[in-house]
Structure 1
């Protein structure tokens, strides 16, 4: 059975899945570097290369190949929740709290190693980046598919709601900026 067939078998029948159902399916998928290798996309000048592997009305599965020199921006996942599996490498992972209409503040920072699973709760603001010599490769599953993601620029004291084709970085293209707001500095 191919990797994509395993994904379709485990995730295809999930309708409005709970976080626990997503986690169980992701653990059962048991994704390994050799499974995702054909889907890797170079990060170029972004924090990561992003490749959609599977999507339906209820969930999406993305693969990320991370830059060794650039973290993503702090961001949420709109109305989505899900899980991240660290397939290769290790990641610096920061979780933020946000006072009303102010800038997010780092609350927790930890290193996530290969084999880790990170719970991404609805409304959670976080950022990730590569933290070692071995390339960071992560597999992400979100439900529903991400829309309305907010990306924070702590230097500009601003937040931007980005289009679905933008990752967790400040958009360079105007069409990816759905809405921007100025925030109060900390």
Structure 2
């Protein structure tokens, strides 16, 4: 069965899925690294390269391959989702955020190949490659991410980024929807 048909068959059944339904769907896709290799490209100076694999009104599925750079602390707007480590290991750092204040680091944990971890609605985190192995992650979010907020801790600022921007401070002004000064 072609990948797109597999995605469609599994993901089109979801309707306002719960966190557990999302995780079950991601697991049931049974994606392996070899299947994702054709979709991976150079991160080109960014923390990761992201490829949208499938999207409908309810969910989006992305694969990301990571460089040596960490992404910026960010949320996923009004979306929640699960991240699966397909190869390598990821350091996931979780933050506490109070309105219009600088995020405060709570903890960091290493998630190895085969691990799943949850990204809650409005939860702020950052990720980076941990170790020397090539990091590839699979992400399933619901609803599709829009209104992602990215934080720059040095500038004491945050910005809402366009839907095609990743978790980094945008250099292209068109990708910066709104900038927010933090306290």
- Structures share fold, TM-score greater than 0.5: yes
Which bin holds the TM-score, normalised by the shorter protein? over 0.9
Q: RMSD of the alignment, in Å? A: 0.9
- Counterpart in 1 of 2:179? 180
Q: What's 2:6 paired with? A: 6
Q: Does 1:39 align with 2:39?
A: yes
State the partner residue of 2:117: 118
Aligned residues: 183
What TM-score, normalized to structure 1? 0.96
Deviation at 1:135, TM superposition (A): 0.5
Cα deviation for residue 87 of structure 1 reads 0.2
Distance 1:56 1:41 in 2: 24
Output the CA distance in 1 between the equivalents of 2:16 and 2:61.
Answer: 14
Instruction: Flag structure 1 segments of 5+ consecutive residues without an equivalent.
Output: none
Contact 1:97–1:104 (8 Å) recurs in 2: yes
5+ long unaligned stretches in structure 2: none
Over residues 12-60 of structure 1, what are the superposed CA-to-partner deviations in whole Å (9 max), with x where a residue is unaligned? 1212211111110111111110111111122111000010000011110
Taking the aligned partners of 1:100 and 1:141, their CA distance within structure 2 comes to 26
Residue 87 of structure 2: aligned partner: 88
Per-residue deviation at 1:8?
1.2
Scaled by the length of structure 2, what TM-score is found?
Answer: 0.97
**Other-structure match for 1:107:** 106
Q: Is the 8 A contact 1:41 1:64 kept in 2?
A: no
The 3-state SS of whatever aligns with 1:168 is: coil
* CA positional deviation for 1:2: 2.3
Spell out the pairing of 1:4-153 with structure 2 (5 A cutoff).
4-67=4-67, 69-153=68-152
1:76 and 1:151 in contact (8 A); partners too: yes
CA distance in 2, matches of 1:5, 1:89: 27
Deviation track 1:54-106 (CA, whole Å, cap 9, x = no partner) reads 00111100110000x20000000000001000000001110000133210011
